[in-house]
Amino acid sequence: MPLLLFPQSDWLAFLGGLILLWWARSVEVWTEQRPARQRWRAPARLLPLALALGGVWGPLLPQLLVGRFLVDFSLAALLLVWLWRRALARARLGFEHEALTRSFRLGFLALLASLMLALLAPWRDLLAVLSLTLPLFFFSGLLTLSLARLSTIRRQRLRRAGDTGAVADPTRPWLLALALLSLLILLLVALLETIFSFVTFQAAITLLTPVVARAWDWVSEVLLWLIVLILTPFFDLFALVVAAVRREGPASAPVLISPATLRRQLLTQQGQSHLSVPPLLLMGGRLLLLLLIIGGLLWLVIRVVHLGRWQSLVPEVEEEREMLNPLALLGERLRQRRGQRRRRVLIEPLPPTSLRWLYRAWLQDLAARDRTWVRHPAETPQEYLARLRTSLPATTSTQQLVEFGDQLTQAYLPERYGGQPAEAGRLAALRQSWKKLHTSLSTRGGRFDDRQKSEGPS
């Protein structure tokens, strides 16, 4: 039994997977923009799972009732639930470029491994499927990564613009170009599947075979003459060394006959060459020609390598690059791979009586309750507080956290960015409020965490 959403057709399975994926992302965006619709989030998340299970079990439900394919149905259900949970977590975080890149690499490697197995074992059906799946997966993956990258660039520009007003979006032409390219790929695949066939390509290749063979003969002739021109001086030099060791004349010295020497002897025998050139002069000319060829190649390589230095480099205003030692970086990377240790971010130690320590404790408490409430590195304190107000559920605990965060942010900004320390009385009041709030949330932590788990991934 095929473990597909809709076993009747591969195209329906592919289309159904895309619809369910975009449905999950649309539900997340729809509920984030309007907090009043939070109660519809859980049913909307369960709808794709119900449709997927119905697509697998529906067509073969009579066989399931009589007790057939129970193991296959159970495996299909477990696989679909696992994929649903994984896709739900990714849809909640958004289509991040790094996650999509990792999925694309793993999927492409899996297809290549399947192709190698199909080639080793003559599985014609699998080869027929992979011949269509592999290029489609490659091009669709590149388009998806490009769209995700454009989305990241657009979000960064909007975040930098802030409240300055309308900002020109430079990603629209690229978005249009990618959309047209995807449509072109779909049309090309449709033409290849409906109008053309592999027999047509085989006939075209048969017609082009003489032309390709003649071109290959020309290339082989050119390469042969280049090899003869380069290696002939070495043959003559080796012959002179052998003659000097044997203390014989250069006429009886040659042991190796180069192609050019053999051709010259043939021309002399046919009466087409009557010139008498001294061997030393001929060898000197060949060595000079060899030096000229090597010098020209070196000049070309140096010219290509140093071409970028001739252009004026205009540094970016917003970019500051440090000169780092590449050997030290490579050594550190090698030590990390050998020890299989991940990089750990070192937190700056702060005194417990400071306002920055209190702000960090508030951030860590929010991050411990829900990973989606973590402050992003590119967010300012005002942007983070605004995101919390729109994303947190309307409960008493979350409202208390937001209200305390508002007071803490107002006192934190002048000290952190303006260099103005907070007043002792205000700092003491904030610390007292945080102790009371933390104690009250800890006593109600069980109910609070249960509510968050019910709204989180099941």
pLDDT of residue 270: 47
pLDDT of residue 327: 66
3 state SS of 59:
coil
Q: How far is CA 410 from CA 10, 234, 426, in A?
A: 57, 82, 11
Answer whether 48's CB lies under 8 Å from 84's CB: yes
pLDDT of residue 275: 45
Q: Who contacts 176 (Cβ-Cβ below 8 Å, separation ≥6)?
A: none
Instruction: Provide the residue ranges of all domains of the chain, joining segments of one domain with +.
Output: 10-161+171-200, 205-306, 355-455
Answer whether 256's CB lies under 8 Å from 239's CB: yes
- Number of Cα atoms under 13 Å in the Cβ half of residue 339: 9
Nearest partner of 2 among 125, 137, 131, 135, judged by Cα: 125
End-to-end CA distance of the chain, in Å? 28
Other Cβ atoms closer than 10 A to 258: 19
pLDDT of residue 247: 59
Amino acid occupying residue 182: S
Report the chain (458 residues): mean pLDDT per 10 consecutive residues. Answer: 42 60 73 71 78 70 72 76 75 68 84 83 77 78 81 76 60 81 76 62 73 81 74 72 63 47 53 52 65 75 59 42 59 70 56 78 79 78 82 75 81 77 79 79 51 39
Nearest partner of 370 among 452, 447, 434, judged by Cα: 452
pLDDT of residue 321: 43
pLDDT of residue 291: 74
Amino acid occupying residue 244: A
H-helix or E-strand spanning residue 458: none
pLDDT of residue 75: 78
